[in-house]
């Protein structure tokens, strides 16, 4: 079993993610997943006007707590990290920028006190613990009954080749605190050849990844990865309920598979008819190793009332639909088609898609939108087009 001291020592030695200028990061318009200012309607879709009074950030590292405190000066944040260096860095920046709504302590997540937090962020933390189940149970205890837990974990469909080779590196006793030993380990992986799955994970486009990235992937003392089924098994045991993904586009066949394929007729219909969780798992297995989908990022709740909440809102008479704040609609130069563009999506829009988006300068009732005379297609086509946009996270459903 890996001790907390092993994990702490690793992150003291290798600050990861790297330190950034958080104010500049925010000023450049870059947003973190489940940013409360932009994403309240997918954190608390049952009440988009709700404001959390206090929030917990576990494994805050060098940047995350500062980011949220600066973005939400009226929310009180309590953040913890097992790296003392990370904690001291946060305190230094807090003093320099007079940040008063944040407290940062050197503490393990299991030591976090049950304070009934309205909102908890646990991003890329559960991947480094011995028992993900115990970690989730403890986080659930720290959460208020109507609170939300933001969880991000490594995607097993993407990282399985990393964990496949990690036992070899461990058995060969490479010393991750000795630079020459680390370089030797990296050369070993490079030497496996571009066709070896593990070597492919150390290669980015036309060159190998930086040495520090290799260390964070292949040499961390602990690296838990998760399939979608792994996650839902954990939820069932921990008493937590899945509410929604941050980005649906990574999980739905409508965004990845052509509805009509010559070589595989009926394939889309078959995969789209699967049970929801099995469908998400299937899309992950098909595309997870090829696309840049490194993490599963989601919102969990304590009450079963919120399970799959946004996904069950389409036929609710009180449901609103709004355009995702990070969504850009573009017509590339020299092309007639219009596209929905984000970091991980380039979706060609149909005329129905375009007309729906044109009407979303502000949130609209789904029922009113589908009855709009500005959309000329028949009702079934309107509904299908709106669901396409939801499954691509171009739009969001909420009350």
| 372-385 pLDDT per residue, tens | 888 876 777 889 99
Residue by residue, what is the 3-state secondary structure of 37-92? HHHHHHHCCCCCCCCCCEEEEECCCCCHHHHHHHHCCCCEEEEEECCHHHHHHHHH
**Strand order from edge to edge, sheet including 102-106:** 102-106, 76-81, 54-58, 117-123, 143-154, 295-301, 241-245
- What's the confidence (pLDDT) of residue 18? 86
**Angstrom distance (rounded) from CA 185 to CA 213:** 13
**Angle subtended at Cα 302 by Cα 124 and Cα 122, rounded to the nearest 5 degrees:** 15
Q: How is residue 398 written in tokens? A: 């909420």
Q: What is the mean pLDDT of residues 21-38?
A: 96
> What's the residue count for the chain?
399
Query: Which domains can be identified in the chain, with CATH numbers?
Result: 4-155+226-310 (3.40.50.150), 157-218 (no CATH), 313-398 (3.90.930)
Higher-pLDDT residue of 38 and 378 is 38
Q: How much is the pLDDT for 368?
A: 93
Residue-wise pLDDT tens digits, 39-96: 999 999 999 999 999 999 999 999 999 999 999 999 999 999 999 999 999 999 999 9
Q: For position 290, what pLDDT does the model report?
A: 61
Average confidence score pLDDT of the chain: 92
Residues 268-300 have pLDDT tens digits of 889 999 999 999 999 999 887 666 788 999 999
pTM of the full structure: 0.94
**Contacts for 113-116: CB closer than 8 Å, 24+ residues apart:** 113/142, 114/141, 114/142, 115/54, 115/56, 115/78, 115/142, 116/142, 116/143, 116/144, 116/145, 116/147
Tokens of 282: 């299937």
How close are the terminal C-alpha atoms of the chain, in Å? 45
The pLDDT score that the predictor gives to residue 110 is 80
């Amino acid at each position: 079993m890996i001790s907390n001291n092993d994990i702490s020592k690793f992150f003291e030695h290798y600050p990861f993610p790297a330190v950034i200028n958080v104010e500049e990061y925010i000023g450049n318009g870059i947003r973190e997943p489940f940013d409360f200012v932009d994403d309240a309607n997918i954190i608390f879709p049952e009440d988009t006007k709700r404001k959390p009074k206090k929030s917990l950030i576990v494994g805050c590292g060098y940047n995350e707590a500062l980011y949220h405190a600066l973005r939400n000066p009226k929310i009180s944040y309590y953040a913890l990290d097992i790296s003392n260096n990370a904690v001291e860095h946060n305190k230094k920046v807090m003093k320099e920028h007079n940040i008063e709504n944040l407290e940062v302590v050197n503490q393990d997540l299991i030591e976090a006190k049950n304070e009934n937090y309205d909102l908890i962020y646990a991003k890329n933390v559960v991947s480094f613990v011995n028992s993900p189940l115990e970690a989730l149970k403890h986080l659930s205890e720290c959460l208020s009954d109507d609170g939300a837990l933001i969880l991000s974990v490594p995607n097993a469909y993407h990282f399985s080749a990393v964990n496949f080779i990690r036992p070899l590196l461990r058995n060969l006793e490479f010393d991750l605190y000795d630079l020459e030993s680390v370089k030797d380990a990296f050369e070993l992986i490079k030497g496996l050849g571009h066709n070896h799955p593990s070597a492919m994970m150390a290669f980015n486009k036309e060159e190998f990844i930086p040495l520090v990235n290799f260390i964070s992937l292949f040499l961390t003392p602990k690296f838990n990865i998760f399939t979608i089924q792994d996650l839902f098994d954990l939820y069932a045991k921990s008493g937590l309920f899945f509410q929604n993904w941050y980005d649906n586009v990574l999980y739905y066949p409508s965004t990845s598979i052509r509805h009509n394929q010559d070589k595989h007729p009926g394939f889309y219909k078959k995969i789209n008819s699967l049970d929801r969780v099995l469908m998400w798992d299937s899309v992950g297995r098909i595309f997870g190793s090829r696309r840049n989908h490194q993490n599963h990022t989601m919102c969990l709740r304590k009450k079963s009332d919120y399970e799959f909440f946004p996904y069950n809102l389409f036929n609710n008479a009180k449901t609103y639909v709004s355009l995702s704040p990070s969504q850009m609609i573009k017509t590339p130069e020299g092309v007639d088609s219009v596209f929905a563009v984000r970091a991980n999506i380039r979706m060609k829009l149909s005329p129905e898609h375009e007309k729906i988006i044109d009407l979303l300068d502000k949130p609209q009732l789904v029922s009113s939108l589908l009855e709009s005379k500005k959309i000329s297609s028949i009702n079934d086509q309107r509904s299908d087009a709106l669901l396409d946009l939801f499954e691509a996270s171009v739009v969001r459903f909420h009350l």
